[in-house]
Amino acid sequence: MNYSIKIKSPCLNNNDNHYEGGVDTHDRPLRALANASGCVIVVVEYRLAPEFPFPAAPEDCFAALQWVIQQAEKFQVDASKVAVGGDSAGGLLATVVCLMCRDRGMNQPIAQVLIYPNTDLTADTASWHELDALYPGASRENFLALVAMYVPALDQREQPYVSPLRAPNLSGLAPALIITTELDAQRDEGEAYAQRLRDAGCLVTHTRYPGVLHGFFQMGGVIASGKVALAEVAEFLRLRFRDFQEINYPKKRTTETRQCALAVPRLEATAAQRTQREEK
């Protein structure tokens, strides 16, 4: 086995980056999420670039998901109730795992949680150009240099398992919670992906958090928006696990987009604020 699994507290989490990061960078928010949601959190330490370029990372995550399902009894979790999720590059890997499950004839996870995800590694959306100067250390130029370590071949960067926003078919994927932030160069690709999933008939909840930067989810110990986002993810997972058992989904697809209002002092009230739902 070329990846490692760490059982933290059913939700499969992918760490933050294709070339760095790991359990240490995400331990605290994941412990908080486990406590808030009542989920078991499984962290996948997938192989990193440049030593292990694409497709090592998504293949590791797909294999880890199958392994967790096979070992469910050992870990005292329900194999029929496994979600996937991640932030940034981890969000990309989470949704790619859903694509791989569909394409390989495996059951879909019951949910995917995508926190300011990469969905297009060409980094050519309006927000990348608009907010480039906001991130001197993480400029578009630097980002593309990192992408080159993960996917050295230019002709692979528009493939669905690299840039899922460019996939021709996004139907049949797990219900998604997508979180984006106003001041994030990856904002537009995350929001475009939410719309593509809606157009494909998937269940989607999308929330944009105003006035915060990429990475805010890990700052829940010091900023209100991080606490609110963690509460939103926990609520979404609880509802998905409950609804999967109680509701026979099929023909109707529900979507919603909402702006997060951070001025509300009570987290539970803030997380509960929603716009009207549209049914297809």
- Catalytic residue selected from 16, 120, 184, 188: 184
pLDDT the model gives residue 238: 93
Catalytic annotation present for 184:
yes
CA distance 122 to 38: 37
Domain boundaries 4-279, CATH class:
alpha beta
Helices (H), the chain: 23-37, 56-70, 89-103, 126-130, 140-150, 187-199, 224-246, 267-272
Quick one: pLDDT band at residue 137, thresholds 50, 70, 90? confident
Catalytic annotation present for 26:
no
Looking at the chain, how many residues does it have? 280
Q: CA torsion sign, 156 to 66 to 79 to 34? A: negative
Give SS3 for 185: coil
Domain limits, the chain: 4-279
- Catalytic residue selected from 88, 127, 163, 225: 88
Q: Each residue of 156-203: pLDDT tens digit?
A: 999 999 999 999 999 999 999 999 999 999 999 999 999 999 999 999
Catalytic annotation present for 214:
yes
Quick one: pLDDT band at residue 37, thresholds 50, 70, 90? very high
